[in-house]
Amino acid sequence: MFGNQGNMANMMKKVQKLQADMAKLQEELKTRTLESTAGGGAIKIVVNGEKQLVSVKIDPGAVDPEDSEILEDMIMAAVNEAMKKVDDMMAQEMGKLTGGIKIPGMF
């Protein structure tokens, strides 16, 4: 009986350490930046781990006053790809901590 309580206490310590490690990793990942491009590099988007736009660079050659829809589409594509990269980075890094086990609500 006491052996089971010892195992449970040990498991709880491991869970608490995992939670602390995950919180620390999440904070660290917020400071990372990821870059995405579209239109052959005409649009460059940089986002951070909190999915906030850090910068947008547009090659002047990509700006056609007669056809702003192409520019809008390229920006949207680059932003969406950057956000996907953030999700992928978070999942990959958290997977390293959890051994690949998906924990609902964490990432």
Q: Does 16 reside within a domain?
A: yes
Task: List helix spans (H) across 31-103.
Answer: 68-98
Do the Cβ atoms of 74 and 62 come closer than 8 Å? yes
Q: Does 37 reside within a domain?
A: yes
pLDDT tens sequence across 9-30:
888 888 888 889 888 988 888 8
CATH code of the domain in which 33 resides: 3.30.1310.10
Q: Could you count the other beta carbons within 10 Å of the beta carbon of residue 31? A: 9
Q: Does 74 reside within a domain?
A: yes
Q: Does 105 reside within a domain?
A: no
Q: Does 106 reside within a domain?
A: no
Q: What is the pTM of this model?
A: 0.71
Q: How many independent structural domains does the chain possess?
A: 1
Give the pLDDT band of residue 105 (cuts 50, 70, 90): low
**Which residues span the domain enclosing 32?**
2-98
Q: Is the pLDDT of residue 3 over 90?
A: no
